[in-house]
Structure 1
Amino acid sequence: MVRAFLYFIATMIVLVIIGLFALNYWSDKATEIAFVPNTKFVEQEALAENAYADPDMWYSRPGIGTNDPARYQPAIAETQNPLPRSEDERTLVEQASEAGSRRVTADDEQGAPPFAVFFVHPTSYIPTNLDRDIQWNAKLGNKEAEDRATLFLRGLASPFNRAAEIWAPKYRQATVGAFITDKPEAEQAIDAAYRDVEQSFDYFLESVDKDRPIILAGHSQGSLHLLRLLRERIKGRPVENRIAAVYAVGWPISIDHDLPVLPLPACERANEAGCILSWVSFADDGDPTQLLSRYRASPGFDGEPRGNGAILCVNPITGFANSAAPADDNKGTLVPSEDLTSGELVAGAVGARCDEQGILRIGDPPEMGSAVLPGRNYHVYDIPLFWRNLQDDVVTRVREWTAANS
């Protein structure tokens, strides 16, 4: 387990590149030369109709057992305990889970209503033009990309590990260069990746209990594909009523031009089900200009420029939109040790508040490692910063969905 965490933290450093280019849309000529393929887009052959019946097409799914990366459970820092909340602070999160910062026990897991998670991993295919075979989409079986994706899932999908089922598909993801260019091939690559995700989602729906609530979750490129699934595969269909919550983390969502097109509203409170959570994390003195500039000029899901309106911010500590919480209310941040040989959940490490732009500000954050991006952008740590609160938030929303649909 220690070695697994070491690999996870070391690999998270690679996400610096992903965060710089995929989230921030940096279009500097040098980076474009380095990461944007200079080859023509090659249309991918459609996967076999039953492709996702093969267990090897999944990083996580029922039956994988102890090797399932999404089932990773970090240790608890025994010396770190959440401080008592004031009455006002307690009111802020009174409807959040009362599980506290203790380790998850068998009783906890039995207390969670059975639910299924569909998780789409972020970009793990990051070749450069120095490589001999840079393509617009990763090939299935690309060992480097798939090994990296497995490690990402260990840290990013593991907060959802109280689910009865976690499904995380392999897909022919768009290369990181597709997110830093306006070339038409980039959109073709993203479309191609989405088609695999959609096909895997169809198999997921066929495989899970038809009465079981569903959690959709992802990060970065994965969140982008989830948002398209909502629009094209879920909206107006019976499955829409089964979605307990959507965690589209690390991808900005325009309140004015994206949300109105989506079938579910933003989550406004901690005990709400059937809604969407999203946030992008910056230190208080962080500069989100690079993130917001090109994003605001890009078309929203309604086809109009996103403009200067705020992006969606649901505080992962409180579970409330546009809210604030002190560090004392953070039940566990996944923090690596100095020598990177282990990691622990540390309570009270960082607070969070949504600013007027919809940026999640995390104050003066702890030392998390070398993957903090320019502008003190904590994109890489969007989920680890709030690991334990997120774990509890998922169960709270599933319980609310279950109560409303029983």
Structure 2
Amino acid sequence: MRKKLLCIIFLFLLALGGCGAQDGNSHVPVAGEEIIPSNYAKEKNWMLLEEKGQKPADVFYLYPTSWARKDKKDYPVSTIQAKNMRKRARSVAASQARAFDMAGNLYAPYYRQVEAAFILDRDQEEQMAYYGGVPKTDVIAAFDYYIKHYNQGRPFLLVGHSQGAVMVKEILFDYMDKNPEVYKRMVAAYVIGFSVTEQELEEHPYLKFAEGPEDTGVIISYNTEAPGMTEKNPTVLPGAVCINPISWTRDETPASASENAGSLIKAEGREQKLEGFADARIDKERGTVICSTVDPAVYHSSDVEHFPLGIFHRFDFRFYYYNLKENAQVRVEKFLEEWDDE
């Protein structure tokens, strides 16, 4: 009886964290280790789930880092049930995911995350190893379940920000490589708030980076900064490539704030559309999008200590919100036109 009870306790701890006990000194699984994925047959593990799928295309959305430990002695990977993660994820999705609600049916799983304060202290290789552990295990399992049970053969967009963007990259680099028939239905992948690099594109030659506003089967990616940044941006990798989210071009020609379709900014106590707020220019040397019309002291990612003043990480979506909203619809319409012609 005692042995059976100990076995039950051990399995319970595994289910909580995907690995052993929940304390800060426990081993955190990395890429390549055996990890039990969360169960995506359970509807409660989905934040957004349009089961009937009325629109002709889907959107598979992955939220940014929404998990933070209350005590640094706690385990740095969330459980799938973590209330503060789920609450924060729903809050962020209310704006980010809804930017794409006209483009397709929304699907968004809850997934276990690595805390930003834990992972951003590591070098790039370590970061990717941790991202490729528990978070990737959940995301790949969720996407596979979505494809097999909800997608019904429809075209789809992939959308993610920050840690969610890293997870979109994992789907692109791993799942799409193994499932080319699924990749054929991908309208576009919006990898916002984390870099895609020239080297990664060379290592995965089946992937294409966007060149304009209408191309399909492509990756769209950028990170937003103020002019004159010299400090390290923790979400920008060496060799990063990006696209201008106003003009949807790859060169360094500035796009003025007057050309911006609209930003979603909290002003006068409420969120509202602001026109003429944020401009955009690509800095190819840094591999980022530069916004010169916004005060960095006001729009600072101050809730994450690893982001120096002048990095607009929290506002990657918001500065170009209506550009993203319109562009997603344009790409879906273009894909469906070509899809019907085949």
The amino acid across from 1:332 in the alignment is G
Aligned pairs for 1:14-163 within 5 A: 37-41=24-28, 46-47=36-37, 51-62=39-50, 114-127=56-69, 130-132=71-73, 134-163=74-103
The amino acid across from 1:347 in the alignment is E
What whole-Å deviation, never above 9, does each CA across 1:195-221 have from its counterpart, x for those lacking one? 110000011112334442110010111
Cα distance change of structure 1 residues 326 and 293 upon mapping to structure 2, 3 Å threshold: closer
Provide the residue aligned with 1:325 in structure 2. Answer: 255
Q: Is the Cα–Cα contact under 8 Å of residues 136 and 189 in structure 1 kept in the other structure? A: no
Q: Which of 216, 229, 233 is 1:273 aligned to?
A: 216
Q: Is the Cα–Cα contact under 8 Å of residues 288 and 375 in structure 1 kept in the other structure? A: no
Task: Give the SS at the match of 2:61.
Answer: strand
After superposing on structure 2, the runs of 4+ consecutive aligned residues of structure 1 that deviate more than 4 Å are 42-45, 182-186, 366-370
Cα distance change of structure 1 residues 165 and 404 upon mapping to structure 2, 3 Å threshold: same
Q: Is the Cα–Cα contact under 8 Å of residues 173 and 190 in structure 1 kept in the other structure? A: no
Aligned pairs for 1:148-297 within 5 A: 148-176=88-116, 177-181=118-122, 187-188=129-130, 190-235=132-177, 237-255=180-198, 257-262=199-204, 263-285=206-228, 287-291=229-233, 295-296=237-238
TM-score, with normalisation over the residues of structure 1?
Answer: 0.68
What whole-Å deviation, never above 9, does each CA across 1:63-97 have from its counterpart, x for those lacking one? 69xxxxxxxxxxxxxxxxxxxxxxxxxxxxxxxxx
Q: Is the Cα–Cα contact under 8 Å of residues 120 and 217 in structure 1 kept in the other structure? A: yes
1:362 correspondence with 2:291: yes
Deviation at 1:140, TM superposition (A): 1.7
Provide the residue aligned with 1:353 in structure 2. Answer: 281
The amino acid across from 1:316 in the alignment is P
Cα distance change of structure 1 residues 186 and 328 upon mapping to structure 2, 3 Å threshold: closer
Unaligned runs of 5+ in 1: 1-35, 65-109, 297-308
Q: Is the Cα–Cα contact under 8 Å of residues 188 and 331 in structure 2 kept in the other structure? A: yes
User: Is the strand fraction higher in 1 or 2?
Assistant: 2
CA distance in 1, matches of 2:266, 2:108: 25
Deviation at 1:175, TM superposition (A): 2.0
CA distance in 2, matches of 1:154, 1:44: 33
What whole-Å deviation, never above 9, does each CA across 1:164-187 have from its counterpart, x for those lacking one? 311111111122212322596982
Task: Give the SS at the match of 2:160.
Answer: strand
What whole-Å deviation, never above 9, does each CA across 1:340-389 have from its counterpart, x for those lacking one? x3110111111101112221011121576453642311011001100001
Relative to structure 2, which stretch is displaced further, 352-361 or 205-214?
205-214
CA distance in 2, matches of 1:201, 1:277: 19
CA distance in 1, matches of 2:191, 2:331: 15
CA distance in 1, matches of 2:278, 2:236: 29
Q: What percent of counterpart residues are identical?
A: 24
Q: Which of 254, 266, 273 is 1:336 aligned to?
A: 266
Cα distance change of structure 1 residues 213 and 289 upon mapping to structure 2, 3 Å threshold: same
TM-score, with normalisation over the residues of structure 2?
Answer: 0.80
Provide the residue aligned with 1:383 in structure 2. Answer: 317
Cα distance change of structure 1 residues 228 and 288 upon mapping to structure 2, 3 Å threshold: farther
Relative to structure 2, which stretch is displaced further, 239-248 or 209-218?
209-218
Provide the residue aligned with 2:308 in structure 1. Answer: 374
Q: Is the Cα–Cα contact under 8 Å of residues 194 and 236 in structure 2 kept in the other structure? A: no
Cα distance change of structure 1 residues 382 and 188 upon mapping to structure 2, 3 Å threshold: closer
Cα distance change of structure 1 residues 167 and 292 upon mapping to structure 2, 3 Å threshold: closer
Q: Is the Cα–Cα contact under 8 Å of residues 284 and 361 in structure 1 kept in the other structure? A: yes
The amino acid across from 2:337 in the alignment is A
What whole-Å deviation, never above 9, does each CA across 1:309-345 have from its counterpart, x for those lacking one? 4x2111111222235311111111011124xx31101
Q: Which has the higher contact order (CA 8 A, sep 6+)?
A: 1
Task: Give the SS at the match of 1:328.
Answer: helix
Cα distance change of structure 1 residues 212 and 63 upon mapping to structure 2, 3 Å threshold: closer
CA distance in 1, matches of 2:331, 2:127: 39
The amino acid across from 2:50 in the alignment is P
Q: Is the Cα–Cα contact under 8 Å of residues 195 and 221 in structure 2 kept in the other structure? A: yes
Cα distance change of structure 1 residues 327 and 181 upon mapping to structure 2, 3 Å threshold: same
Q: Is the Cα–Cα contact under 8 Å of residues 314 and 354 in structure 1 kept in the other structure? A: yes
CA distance in 2, matches of 1:312, 1:215: 20
Task: Give the SS at the match of 2:88.
Answer: helix
Q: How many residues align?
A: 303
The amino acid across from 1:399 in the alignment is E
